[in-house]
Structures are given as structure tokens and as C-alpha cells.
Chains A and B, each alone.
Chain A
Amino acid sequence: DAKTTQPNSMESNEEEPVHLPCNHSTISGTDYIHWYRQLPSQGPEYVIHGLTSNVNNRMASLAIAEDRKSSTLILHRATLRDAAVYYCILPSGSARQLTFGSGTQLTVLP
């Protein structure tokens, strides 16, 4: 199963863009890249996912490198409510299970 590597922590100022990186150098051609986040005292929350092309939704954008060995989750204007642990995951196994790593703790400074 392909693994992901993320920085342990990042800081951002409120109302500025945030770029959260993820390396997945052993990704296979059929692996989707999923991002989830977990706010304090809550369950994980789906953010976005993609395969090859960049993706946008109301929460974030996902930029995928051309060789697919890395991706970046982009929050266009961070708010205090975006402070959370962000997980980059490649669903794997016959049932496409999620395996959570340690993620990136994002701190948003007012």
C-alpha cells in the first residue's frame, strides 16, 4: 500500500491562503488522493479527493503534481475554524479502506 508523508505541523495567518503538502511517491496509477480534516473534539470530515486533475470544491482546492508523487491541499482564505488536523490518505485494499497517519496540525493565527 502506498504511504503518505505530511509535515507534523503548520501555521498560517487568518485570511491568508494555506498550502498543505503531501508526498506519496509510491502511489499507483489507480490510487485516489483523499483529504480529510479533524476539528477538535469532532469526527473526521471529508474535504476533497482527486485522481489526476486539480479539483475544487466549496471547502478547498487540490493540486496534484503531474507525476502524482505529491499533492497540495489549498485553503484559499484560512479562518480560525480551519484549525484542525489534516490527513492526506490513499484509500487502499479491496474495500478501499482509509488508513489515517498522523496528519498535519494546522494552527491559524488571528
Chain B
Amino acid sequence: EAQVTQNPRYLITVTGKKLTVTCSQNMNHEYMSWYRQDPGLGLRQIYYSMNVEVTDKGDVPEGYKVSRKEKRNFPLILESPSPNQTSLYFCASRGLRNEQFFGPGTRLTVL
């Protein structure tokens, strides 16, 4: 089944403790991206990647890092999480017809 998977689905952590949210897709898509969703602010893009080793900032990249060492994986890294990064995070990949496939989401709470 074609899908985008994210792990973990839920995470509670403390300020400053480095964490990684993994994202993987099995559709051989070149383009992948990360979004965060907050009440009243909607979905905002954090980072995107056009292909392996090619990444670029989205609208809200501060406090986040990404890497794209292989086509299927696009992890989101929070080196020193802060409470304002408490949010719902979605990973997505884009198909040949420019339709995006979203993962199920990761709900992150930073205390």
C-alpha cells in the first residue's frame, strides 16, 4: 500500500532534549516536505526537499533541521525543542501529478 509513515505518532518531551521525528514514503517520490499545524494558524511548511541531499526552508524553519540522505526518508530534527514547538506535525511526499500524500501526523508536546 502506497503510504507516508511517521514515527512517533505522539511524543511528550522536555525543553532542550533533542528529538527526531521520522518520515518515510514507499512511492519513490522525489519531493518531500514537513508542515506544522497550529490552531488559528493552519498548516505551515517547515522544510522541503526536492531530492536526495537537496533541502530548502519553508515558511517557518527556525528551530528545525532536516536531512535527506536517501529518497524514502526525510527526518525532522529538533536540536533543542522549546514549548513553542508544541504542535501537530505532518510529513508529505509529492507524486508525479503534483498531488501530495500526507502522513498521519505526529503530535508533539514540549514541556
Contact = CB atoms under 8 A, between A and B. Distances in A.
Interface stretch (B12-20, B61-69, B75-83, B97-105): B97-105
Given A42-B104, A43-B90, A95-B50, A100 B98 contact: no
Interface SS of chain B: strand
Interface residues of B, number: 24
A65 to B, nearest CB: 21
Interface SS of chain A: loop
Interface size range on A against B: 20 to 34
Interface of A: 32, 34, 36, 41-46, 49, 91, 95-103
Given A36-B100, A44-B100, A100-B44, 4 more contacts: A43-B104, A46-B101, A95-B56, A98-B100
A101 B103 contact: no
Interface in B14-63: 31, 33, 35, 42-45, 48, 50, 56, 58-59
27 contacts: A32-B98, A34-B99, A36-B100, A41-B105, A43-B4, A43-B92, A43-B103, A43-B104, A43-B105, A44-B43, A44-B90, A44-B100, A44-B102, A49-B97, A95-B31, A95-B50, A96-B98, A97-B45, A97-B48, A98-B100, A99-B45, A100-B35, A100-B42, A100-B43, A100-B44, A102-B42, A103-B42
A45 B102 CA distance: 7
A47 to B, nearest CB: 9
Contacts of A97: 33, 45, 48, 58
Contacts of A44: 43, 90, 92, 100, 102
B50 A46 contact: no
Contacts of B100: 36, 44, 46, 98
